[in-house]
Chains A and B, each alone.
Chain A
Amino acid sequence: MRHGAAQGEGRYAGLFRRPSFWIIALVIAAFVIAPLIGNDVEMRESLVLAAIYIILASNVNLMLGYAGYVNFGSIVFFGLGGYVCVYLMSAQGWPLAAAALAAGVAVSLLALVFGLGILRLRGAYFALATIGVNEAVQAVVANFNPWGGSAGLYLSPRLFLPLGGAMQALWVIYFLLVAVMGLSLYLSYVIKSSKFGLGLLAIGQNEDAAAVLGVPTPLFKALAYSASAFLPAIAGGLYFFKSAFIQPTDAFDLTLSTEAIVIVMLGGQGTITGPALGAYLYEELRGWLLTSETFSHFQLVVSGALLLVIVLFAPGGLMGWLYGRWPRLRKVLE
């Protein structure tokens, strides 16, 4: 059905042959090289936001595009990861890499626990439950004083010193974020090519049939949910460290995760390129709307109208439309 990995070769050797692998590598290279040319700090800042959107969108796509589960509250991973990382660095003196990694591990383990509970729900119930989880976590954190409670945590610039001072630190954080973005794209890619991914897609098509056919649905769903938490948590740690300030209303802001869903829809759910393309387009659109004289007051209206058109008339998103026109593109841009 999917791949032509010959039986004799190593299971994953075939991955290197497909164009997607190299396209992802190209994207990563572009992100790395572009701002380095001429030390373009401003471009780097825009690319940070683009990278974050790609990370959030790719990971939410694991649940949404593959398994068909809408995680409206996916931002909870990002926010919790941010808190764990910032806390470990400021209160416990951990270095950035260790703190970020710990954040990823902690949050994905927590996601596994939560997931086992809420993944028994289907459809809109699940979607609402994810919102409930996000709101509950936000409310708990707002009352949790070691994490600053509702006042949040401010980071001292001192913490940038081990990275060589603020200016250099921002570059380091950027490259780390690009790495996380690359990993997110590769994660989508690897999962899609694996039996696990096949199982998820089957669940997305018809969960009951998949269960009957032997797909261990509860386990797979929980694994997908947990996997979709790991990289966003690390990204959250990096992002809030960079912002030097974290508070519950920012960390658990549902707007970001809904934007991630919009991006996945825009680009094409269930594909790998979709979230990346969608993030790029969305960010361009927003950036233009924000700085445009006429539209800045109406940018929500424009985003909403655009999404409506896509949902009603082009639910496959941009990739869906492209596949429709050039079916052979399916093999090249997954």
Chain B
Amino acid sequence: MIGILASIIDGVLVGSVYGLAAMGLTLIWGVMDVVNLTHGAMIVAGMFALYLATSALGISPYAALVPIFIGGFLVGIMLYWVAVHRVIGRPPLMSLLSTFSVNLVLIGLGTAVWGTVLFNVPVSLPGISWQRYTFPGTHLLAAALTVVIAGLLYLFLYHTRIGKAVRAVAGNREAAELVGIPTTRVLSLAFALGVALAGVSGMLIGTMFPFTVLSGDTYQLKGFVVTVLGGLGNPTGALLGGIALGLIEGLATPFMPVSWTPVIEFALFVAVLIAFPKGIFALRRS
């Protein structure tokens, strides 16, 4: 019984990080109707940035968070102008393919440089023990930071002018233009923000698990599931969706063979998509 409870708690902790990994994805999708298939590569970039920061520069892991956020933001701006700007407004196929092709390039470069070798960033933090079970400090801190970031994102979107501009563009781009909002700048900012969030989530994941250049794919896929569960364009929904996913993983394991977890995850994914074609709590009303 206690084991089940421990798994549930752990599921919530890790799930919140899944949620963070999805926040950038859902933000971009919700604001500009672009499915960013480089998302996985950006998560991996965050992981490697953490590795380089701790091993080559000797920075303590969590101190790398803000620099990685800023770095991700800058990369996002670049990415926007290279691959996304031209395909906004065109059929979704185009943006899917353009981000997908950039992803190919990035992963190709990554494997050429680092191969598929495993990297690990050892982080020692005291955890919380309860009976025979322990909640690693890295999981606890990652979850806490995720909540903080989610909170900051919420404040940004709902209580700053730029944030409101972002939501305006998400709601109705033409109307926003008419009102004088510089939509292109806002779009590029939203995209860069999404990428920065991806990078930071990668960094936090890197504090918890070992990784390779190819690790991003799994988290991107989870990101899709979370986005669908939590509702398109809704970052808070992403957090909740992530926790839901983590809960499913944590809850399923004590009761059934672990190999069935993906069946449940994806069946649920397809079912939710079919039942709620626009996502459960969609930000856009159109």
Contact = CB atoms under 8 A, between A and B. Distances in A.
Q: Do A and B come from one complex?
A: yes
B266 A261 contact: no
> B97, B228, B269 — which one has the most chain A CB atoms within 10 A of its CB?
B97
B92 A300 contact: no
Contacts of A262: 97
Given A308-B101, A311-B98, 11 more contacts: A64-B93, A118-B270, A124-B35, A129-B270, A132-B266, A133-B266, A300-B107, A300-B111, A308-B98, A311-B97, A312-B86
A307 B96 CA distance: 11
A128 B224 contact: yes
Q: Which 3 A-B pairs have the closest CB atoms?
A: A304-B104, A300-B108, A301-B108
B100 A307 contact: yes
Nearest to B91: A68
Interface in B194-235: 221, 224-225, 228
Contacts of A180: none
Contacts of A302: 108
Contact of A305 (B101, B257, B270): B101
B101 A311 contact: yes
A70 B98 CA distance: 14
Contact of A143 (B91, B108, B259): B259
A142 B109 CA distance: 31
B105 interface: yes
B105 A133 contact: no
Contact of A300 (B33, B105, B221, B278): B105
B223 to A, nearest CB: 10
A301 B41 CA distance: 13
16 contacts: A64-B93, A68-B91, A68-B93, A118-B270, A124-B96, A128-B224, A136-B267, A138-B262, A262-B97, A301-B112, A302-B108, A305-B101, A305-B105, A307-B100, A312-B83, A312-B86
A150 interface: yes
B162 interface: no
Contacts of B91: 68, 123
B274 A118 contact: yes
A275 B102 CA distance: 22
Given A124-B96, A125-B273, A312-B98, A131 B221 contact: yes
A202 B87 CA distance: 22
Interface in A111-165: 117-118, 120-125, 127-129, 131-133, 135-136, 138-140, 142-143, 150
Nearest to B113: A297
A297 B110 CA distance: 10
A139 B93 contact: no
B54 interface: no
A315 interface: yes
B27 to A, nearest CB: 15
B94 interface: yes
A300 B94 contact: no
B263 interface: yes
A139 B268 CA distance: 13
B273 A128 contact: yes
B215 to A, nearest CB: 16
B87 A312 contact: yes
A83 B205 CA distance: 36
Contacts of B183: none
A304 B105 contact: yes
A151 B221 CA distance: 23
B224 A131 contact: yes
A136 B35 contact: no
A157 to B, nearest CB: 31
B260 interface: yes
A118 B29 CA distance: 20
A249 interface: no
A139 B266 contact: yes
Interface string B239-271: 000000000000000000101101101110110
A301 B104 contact: yes
Contacts of B225: 132
